[in-house]
Structure formats: C-alpha cells, structure tokens
Structure 1
Amino acid sequence: MTKEEKGAIIEELSEKFANTPYFYITDASGLNVAKTNELRRLCFERGIEYRVIKNTLIRKALESTDTDYSSFDAEVLTGFSGVMFHQESGKVAAKLIKDFLKANKNSIKLKGASVDSSIFIGHDQLDTLLTLKSKQELVGEIIGLLQSPAKNVISGLQSGGNKLAGILKTLSEKEAA
C-alpha cells in the first residue's frame, strides 16, 4: 500500500469517525471464513458498516478528530481490529455482538467503543453499552415526566367538574320533583 493510498484511507476514516456518533472496535480474530461472513451479513442486515482496518490507520484517523481517543492506544489498538460504524443508536452494535456471542462462544471480543464521544474500553463494558439510552429515549422520558403533573391537574379538574355537574343535576331534579 502506497503512502497516497494510506493517506486517502486515513482521511476517509477521519471523516467517518468525526461524523459517526457510534463506533465499536472489536477483535474477531478467532473466526473462520464462514463465521466472518455470517458476522458481516448480520452487520449488513442491522445497518452496521463493519470494516477490518490496520491499527496504525485507525490511530492516525482518531488523532485527527476533535475527541481525545488516546486511551485507546494501549489496550484497544493492538492485534486484530474490526470497526463497526452505526449512525442511529449506540445499542445496535452491542446487541449484535451479544447475539453473535450466544451462537458463537468466545468468537468476538469488544475492545473499545465510542458512543456520543463517551469512551468505553474492554469487553466487560458490553452490558453497560446494552443498557445505555439514546438521546431520543432520554428526551422522551423527560418530556413524559414534564407532562405528567399537567395531565394529573387536568384530569383532576375534569373529574371534579363531572362531580360538580352530577351534584347540580341531582339538585335540580330534586327541586323539579
């Protein structure tokens, strides 16, 4: 690979890392060709771009981004590295890894992840990544919490109004009788 080709790959990766809020770096070195193809197929089906990239190219691309990924150097960017990119949710790749591990024990390992510029290092972070809520989910919960008191007041007023109307109707029927 020439310097120009490496430069083009680093530039492309830099853009990808800067514009993709969710990416996972994995080690799938224990997979045979059939299992690797199965992993790639699952990634494609779930809208995840999976690429095997040299660690030096990943390192140089990450250095050119605004976020500090220097903590990836020691543990994450060693050995075999495959990168999973996803645009919409931080959980999708974590769920795929977990599902793939159920069918293929010790086949893929999470080395590190970046979810909205938050850094997670190590395979033990997989369960944490599965429980993370997206920004949309958090905003939805906050809106629900903010709407809840107003809904309670309105329903209280409406039920009180119905009671008052019922009492007035009963009183008017008594006077008419």
Structure 2
Amino acid sequence: MPVRRAQKEDVVAKLRDEFGQAKSIILTSHAGIKVNEVNELRSQFRAEGVTYSVVKNTLAKRALEGTDMEVLADSFSGTTAIAYSYEDAVSPAKIASKYAEKNDKFVLKGGYLDGTVLDADGVDQLAKMPTKDELRATLLRTFIAGPTNFVRLLNAVPTQMLHLLNARKKDIDEAA
C-alpha cells in the first residue's frame, strides 16, 4: 500500500520538529548488520534517552529544507539512520562511536551540533567529550570540595587536641 501524501507530510513535519529540538544529530549507516545486532544497538541508545531510527532520505531532506541544518542534506544517501537526544548532545555520538569501533559495517556518516556540520572524525571528537551527567558530577564535586575541606580543617584541631591529651595521660600513667 503506497504511502499517501498526507502521511508523508506528517512524517516531514515530525522530522522537522525533532531536528529542531535535538541537541545534536548523528547520521549513521548500518547496512549489512544483522537485525538482532541493530536491536541491541537501539536498546543501548534507548537506555541513554537517545532516539535512533532509520529515515527515508527524501523525507529527511524535505524536513531540512529552509532550516540551519539544510547543509546536512547531502549526507542523506544510501541507508541512513539518525540518532539524537533532546537532553544531551554527546550521548548519541558516544554510543555510535563506541559501536562503530566494534563493528566495521556500522558507519558514522557525520552529524550536526550547534550550527556546525560534523564529519566522522568530528563525531568521534564529540564522543570524547563528557556527557551532561558527567559534567554535572564534576561540577557537584567542585562545589562540595570547598566546604568538605573546611569541615576537615575545623575537625582537625579538636582531633589533634584529643591526641595530645591522650599522649599526656599516657605519660602521667606511666610516671605513676
């Protein structure tokens, strides 16, 4: 049953909305990879809150028309899948790059981040950056380091005084 024009327009509108909200977009090709391996990859993406789906190139190109991401249109050729997240720009690249290292048939075609088109090497560089959660953890450690050190310093004086008194008591007990 052929896809009707209205259905295609809905897909284009949905893709345009998703592209507009995504923090980054990673384009891949998984031609020649077994279905169960692709399903495993999809579950890895899903676990990190990343959407991964195969798109029809003509509809994706139409969705990009008139947007800043229109420069990606040439990358939509052959089998194309997109990975994107509304929360974290790094996670899609991290998962895709890691999987590409393990499987030669999985190809990183490129991507898009904050107005910049990425080639496969750019996607690998993006994958090396810390994720949003990793940045939050680092920031939290930085925030609590000062107060933690201050409390340790305040605690050190009474602790040292206690050790001094215990040593004096020991000396007195030995002398008696």
Give the TM-score of the pair, scaled to structure 1.
0.71
Percent of residue pairs bearing the same amino acid type: 20
Provide structure 1 residue ranges, at least 5 long, that are not aligned to the other structure.
Answer: none
Q: Residue 123 of structure 1: CA displacement?
A: 1.4
| Paired position in structure 2 for 1:77 | 76
1:157 corresponds to 2:154: yes
| Paired position in structure 2 for 1:24 | 26
**Partner SS state of residue 110, structure 1:** strand
Change (3 A) 1:120 1:36: farther
| Paired position in structure 2 for 1:10 | 12
Distance 1:163 1:146 in 2: 27
Please identify, of 43-52 and 83-92, the stretch whose mean Cα deviation from structure 2 is larger: 83-92
Provide structure 2 residue ranges, at least 5 long, that are not aligned to the other structure.
Answer: none
Letter in 1 for 2:40: L
Give the TM-score of the pair, scaled to structure 2.
0.72
Distance 1:125 1:5 in 2: 34
Preserved CA contact (<8 Å) 1:72 1:121: no
Letter in 1 for 2:143: L
Aligned pairs for 1:1-177 (under 5 A) are: 1-28=3-30, 31-32=31-32, 35-46=33-44, 47=46, 49-63=51-65, 68-74=68-74, 76-86=75-85, 89=88, 90-92=90-92, 94-103=94-103, 105=104, 107-114=105-112, 117=114, 119-168=116-165, 170=167
Letter in 1 for 2:121: D
Preserved CA contact (<8 Å) 2:72 2:112: no
Distance 2:112 2:123 in 1: 12
CA RMSD in angstroms comes to 3.2
